A = this chain, B = another copy of it.
Amino acid sequence: MESTPVKALALVCSLNPSPARSSSQLLAEQVMAALGEHGVRGEVIRVADHDVRPGVQVDMGDGDAWPGIREKILAADILVLSTPIWLGHPSSIAQRVLERLDAELSETDDEGRLLTYGKVAAVCVVGNEDGAHKVSADLFQGLNDVGFSLAPGAVAYWVGEAMQGTDYQDLDKTPDAVASAMKTLAANSAHLAYHLRTTPYPAT
């Protein structure tokens, strides 16, 4: 359908930089693999490996790593935001990513559309025991506010039973329900991304 493949970028919002193991990294990689089955090519970036400064401007200066990441977001058709759950909330790094994306509200193309229009967002959420729906709610709203579209089932998540302590990355196998959610997310998000590429939202 397309000469150049649809591209995805996954931003992993673990509090720990590489090479620490990370459940949110694992889930993001699995979603990228699921997207790959629809011809989507992509890259996974662990945000904590980069010096992303606090702020709400496109470039906070002084060695800020966000402009480099932002360039990859703008080159991608799909943004996957993957976060652990801390105290029931998105990680501080996921919130920092949203704060940096807030700057996009002031960036428009020649026809007055946000540069994020035409891009699809999806979300990965992982925690020991609780919080996936709320975290996806916060991220869906933040990402939609700054211009991303959402296909049905735009979240893949795992949490364990209340107050238990096993990590997603230490499970013996990927639970069927998670695998199925990733498949749905990938199929729908890829479909929507293909469409928006060829048929952009109208200028307003």
Contact = CB atoms under 8 A, between A and B. Distances in A.
A91 interface: yes
Contact of A130 (B91, B96, B132): B132
Contact of A142 (B89, B129, B153, B175): B89
A202 B188 CA distance: 7
Contact of A86 (B86, B102, B144, B202): B102
Interface in A85-130: 86-93, 95-96, 98-99, 102, 114, 116-117, 129-130
Interface stretch (A62-70, A73-81, A155-163): A155-163
Given A130-B130, A162-B177, A201 B15 contact: no
B86 A98 contact: yes
A187 B203 CA distance: 9
A161 B174 CA distance: 13
Contacts of A55: 15-16
A141 interface: yes
Nearest to A52: B92
Query: What band does the interface of chain A fall in when counting residues whose beta carbon is under 8 Å from B?
Result: 35 or more
A54 B138 CA distance: 20
- Please state the number of chain copies in the assembly: 4
A99 B91 contact: yes
A26 interface: no
A152 B88 contact: no
Given A95-B95, A130-B131, A141 B147 contact: no
Contacts of A98: 86-87, 89
A21 interface: no
A92 B155 CA distance: 22
13 contacts: A15-B56, A16-B54, A48-B54, A88-B142, A89-B98, A89-B138, A130-B130, A131-B131, A136-B144, A145-B153, A187-B202, A188-B202, A192-B201
